[in-house]
Structures are given as C-alpha cells and as structure tokens.
Copies of this chain bind each other. A is one copy, B any other.
Amino acid sequence: MRIAVDALGGDEAPGEIVAGAVAATKRLPGDEILLVGDEARVSKLIGPDKPQNLTLRDAGAAVGMDEEPASALRARPDASVAVAAKLVRSGEADALFSAGNTGGTVAAALLRIGRLEGCRRPAIATVLPFTSPAILLDAGATTMCRPQDLLNFAILGGVFAERYFGLDVARVALINVGEEPGKGDDLAKESHALMRDSGAVHFVGNVEGRDIGGGVADVLVTDGFTGNVVLKTAEGVSREIFGMLRSAMTANAVSKLAAAILRPKLLGMRDRLDPENYGGSFLLGVAGSVVIGHGNSKARGVENALRGISRTGAGLSDALQQALDSSHATPAGDET
C-alpha cells in the first residue's frame, strides 16, 4: 500500500511527522510511504539512512491552523495536503494522512479526490478508546444530517470497523436518548427506521450516551454535531477525573507513596485512553483512504495512524463503494 503523508501539517510538523513516518516504514516493510513537503527540509530531517520504502515529494507550505481551508487551497494549489490528495486522485498513492488543519484536509479530499457515489456528505470516523473500543461517526464533518446520511454512515462505519478491528460482522448502533425505537428527535426516529429496514447494516438498535463504552456495539452512528460533542465531552470528563485523581494522590506524603506504588498501573490506564494509540480519524465517504491526525500528533501517533491505514488496506474505498452500491440496489427489507 502507498500512503502519502503531509509532512508539514500539524503542531509538531515536520519533526514528529517525519520521525513517525520513518518509524512506520520499519513496521510496514510491505508498504510505501510518500512524504509530501519541502523536500530539502524533510530530506535533512531523515538524514543519510533513508529507508528503501520511503520517497519524498516536494510541496508548498501546509494549510495553516487559522486559514480558511477552501480559500487557502484555491490560493495555494501546491499546499502539502493538496499535493498529497492529488497523489491519491492520480492513483500514485492509496491513502493520505495529515495532522494539519482538519478543514483543510476535508476540503482537499472533497475537492481533489471527490466523494463516493451515492454519498452526499462524508463522516469522520474516530475510535473511542474505551475497554471495548468502538468507532464513532460522524465526529464532526457534517453537522446538518438527513436520515439517509446517517444510513450511509452506518454502512460505511460497518465495513470500516470490520476491516479496522478484524471483525466478521460489525454491530452498528444509533446514538439516541433512549433504547426504544420511538425515542429521539425526527432525525433519530427516521434514521432508526432506515437502519432497521436496510439489509446492508447489522443494526442492534439505539444506544444511550452512558453505554457508548460498554461494548454493546462496534459502530456508533450519529450526526456530526452530536458526535463532536460526545467525543469532546468524553475527553473533557476523562481529563477532569484524571485531574481529581492527581490531586487526591499528591495530597500528602502517604498518598504520594501509595501513588508511587500504583504509578505503573495508572500510567497503563492513562495510556489505554490515549488518543495517540489510534493516531487518526478516517474521513469516510471520499474516494480514497483519508486520515486526519490530531493537530498535536507526535511520532508515536503518526506511526500508529499509518499502521491503522495499512491494516484497513488499499481496497477500503472500493469496499465502501460496493457496500453503498448494493444497499441502494437492494430494496429495503423488512427485519422487524
């Protein structure tokens, strides 16, 4: 598989991005990494021992974090993420990774690579790092959704989760305010009916916020507004509790001693919840694998993201297109 990496996007670019890409080449000897960015600068960072399966592609500056994505891409068609997207478009690469401006990556994907047929809007699929990890989508690409969009997200998320987690059949749930089919706003009610009646999704029904980490589903579907709020609430609550834990454990000398004993276990726990374990979110619904890294991605996050891309394989977007096609070809079944 050939993965184009935007070497210039992200708070820690290019240093951490290049380091992560180089590390990934060793873990993924069968894949090829194309580092896209200021060739002289990137080359210097790699040093004399450039791995065999790493190539460089020159490009202009990244889309800045404060730039308006669409106009930045219009003004600078050689922006690193745009060049990486063109490599996917032309078939020189199968996938694109960028830790730069999320809007810039989404815009480059939509404008340069294009959408899958039958998919009005894309979704960001992200892993919720609980004891039983699950894919949440949409985590923020499409804030205004229609029921058909959520059905498409369910189909895309199911196929993706099967590849990403190595499952036979992914269990897909709809995030809602209650378990009963009649619960929720109009979008939730209509989407529930569409998912239930579609033969293309293994739909397990509604799931409430409190059960999103409980292992009841592999894929959690919602609109981009709710999904973004869910994801950030989970991050905020997690940070809050770890903050309280830190205060509790440094309250006095005895607490500190006990905390020192528990330290390895607690670090292990924090690591399990660390988003760097996954390193990136997949933009599903576009005609190629597009992965959005955290803005503050470090080398480990980049490496893990590239391994995730490799695991889902070069055929991901073909498989997604096929799933959408057959769901539209098949008349809605009746599974109630």
Report A's interface with B, CB cutoff 8 A: 130-131, 140, 143-144, 175, 177, 184-186, 188, 208-214, 222-226, 228-245, 248-249, 251, 254-255, 257-259, 261-262, 265-266, 268-269, 272-273
Contact = CB atoms under 8 A, between A and B. Distances in A.
Contacts of A251: 265
Given A224-B177, A265-B249, A265-B251, A209 B238 contact: no
A108 B185 CA distance: 22
Contacts of A177: 140, 143, 224-225, 228-229
Given A175-B229, A177-B229, A229-B230, A237 B262 contact: no
Given A249-B265, A258-B258, A261-B254, A229 B209 contact: yes
B185 A208 contact: no
Contacts of A224: 177
A208 B140 CA distance: 12
A237 B213 contact: yes
A214 B143 CA distance: 24
Contact of A234 (B185, B226, B228, B233): B233
B261 A236 contact: no
Given A140-B177, A144-B185, A268 B248 contact: yes
A231 B209 CA distance: 7
Most chain B CB atoms below 10 A, which of A131, A225, A238: A225
A130 B238 CA distance: 11
A234 B232 contact: no
Nearest to A250: B265
Contacts of A237: 213, 233-234, 237-238, 241
A261 B130 CA distance: 27
Contact of A226 (B211, B226, B235): B226
A262 B255 contact: yes
A221 to B, nearest CB: 13
Contact of A261 (B211, B222, B231, B255): B255
Given A212-B233, A257-B261, 19 more contacts: A144-B186, A177-B224, A177-B229, A208-B229, A209-B228, A209-B232, A211-B232, A211-B236, A214-B236, A222-B229, A229-B230, A230-B230, A233-B233, A241-B241, A241-B269, A244-B272, A248-B268, A249-B265, A258-B262
